[in-house]
Amino acid sequence: MSDSAYGNFPKVELHLHLEGAAPPAFIRGLAKEKNIDIHRIFDDAGNYAFGNFTQFLQVYEATVETLKTPEDYHRLTLAMLEQSAVQGVIYTETFLSPDFCGGGEVAAWREFLQAIKEAADIAETRDGIIMRGIVTAVRHLGPDKAKAAALCAAETVGDWLVGFGIGGDERIGRLKDFSWSFDLAREAKLHLTAHAGEWGGPESVRDALSLGVERIGHGVRAIEDLALVDHLAENEIVLEVCPGSNIALGLYPDWQHHPIERLMERGVKVTVSTDDPPFFHTTMSYEFERLADSYGWDDDVLRTLNETATGVAFCDEPTRARLMKKLEQYQ
């Protein structure tokens, strides 16, 4: 178990990138096995080294160079789920990229997805943690690659692969250029989310809303436009807030300046996730600890985060009922 005060507190996480959850030692091990030299992405202490968001994306993509086969992804998924279960996570929705898993080819993607799902089954039996997948397009790779990712998602939609979204560099291109992919995903009955309002301002959040998303990845810069904040609150658009990620990447200088509490006080439904935990030196337990310390949030407020997340999780209703029951049992 985690040694944090919140280690045993059950947690529901909706925003986690699979490669972004790779422990540095795991990636070093794979690089060694495959004779790939990626020492440049680590600092002297062996942690991922980057100074800003652009460099973060470069380091992220360098880690992906070591992840070549479905078997690699199977091992990564097991490592990620073990790490999350230790933090008390009972449910994790994880972003998966067909661009990295088979180069956007549907047949190859099916093999990667199968390997990831098999690992998820093992971890669920072993640790009780439930995982569901969201295909994510990578924005800076452009709309054509996103179409391939959306096609992969539409071909494999089901009770495990439940959503479609987009991440990557929000400063590049406009979300409306990806509407074909979001329309296809919606027609295939995938749930929708998009990263917005992290490196882009309120207009970027509005662009995401016009794609018909149910949730927004980050979304925190909506705070710069109170009419937009009210719109999010009234329409119950839920934010997947990742405070530790935002602070580690320099979006806000510290927890006191982070807008999560102001968003919540104005009625926006928020959830809390880690995004890419080893990159940002965070865990779900650490996020809960910092929320409690920074804003004086008691267990009831933290429980509300879990209940909100469970309510908008993209899983089917029996799974949601199981999660609610697990949360109630801890009261």
Question: Which residues are marked as active site?
Answer: 198
| CA pair distance 195, 192, nearest whole angstrom | 11
- Residue numbers 17-56 binding ligand ADE by CB under 6 A: 17, 20
The tokens describing 240, both together, are: 């997947």
Query: Binding to ligand ADE by residue 273, rule CB under 6 A?
Result: no
Query: Binding to ligand ADE by residue 167, rule CB under 6 A?
Result: yes
Give the DSSP H/E element, type plus range, for residue 331.
none
| CA pair distance 218, 271, nearest whole angstrom | 10
Among 122, 113, 70, which Cα is nearest to 94's?
113
Decide which of Zn ion, ligand ADE, none touches 20; Cβ closer than 5 to 8 Å per partner kind. ligand ADE
CB contact at 8 A, 291 and 272: yes
Nearer to ligand ADE, 60 or 182 (CB): 60
One residue of 98, 133, 163, 168 binding ligand ADE per CB under 6 A: 168
Query: Binding to ligand ADE by residue 13, rule CB under 6 A?
Result: no
User: For strand 89-96 and strand 270-272, is the pairing parallel, antiparallel, or unpaired?
Assistant: unpaired
Nearer to Zn ion, 75 or 139 (CB): 139
Choices 127-135, 224-232, 272-280, 298-306; region in contact with Zn ion by CB under 5 A = 272-280
| CA pair distance 326, 134, nearest whole angstrom | 23
Among 304, 310, 315, 308, which Cα is nearest to 326's?
310
Query: Binding to Zn ion by residue 261, rule CB under 5 A?
Result: no
One residue of 170, 261, 275, 287 binding Zn ion per CB under 5 A: 275
- Residue numbers 51-90 binding ligand ADE by CB under 6 A: 60
Query: Binding to Zn ion by residue 72, rule CB under 5 A?
Result: no
- Residue numbers 142-171 binding Zn ion by CB under 5 A: 167
DSSP state of 237: P
Shortest CB 20 distance to ligand ADE, Å:
5
| CA pair distance 33, 104, nearest whole angstrom | 25
Residue pointed to by tokens 């009922």: 321
Shortest CB 240 distance to Zn ion, Å:
8
- Residue numbers 178-217 binding ligand ADE by CB under 6 A: 195, 198
- Please report, for the chain, how many H helices and E strands are present, in that order: 13, 8
CB contact at 8 A, 140 and 112: no
Residues contributing to the site for ligand ADE (CB under 6 A):
17, 20, 60, 167-168, 195, 198, 245, 275-276
Residues contributing to the site for Zn ion (CB under 5 A):
167, 275
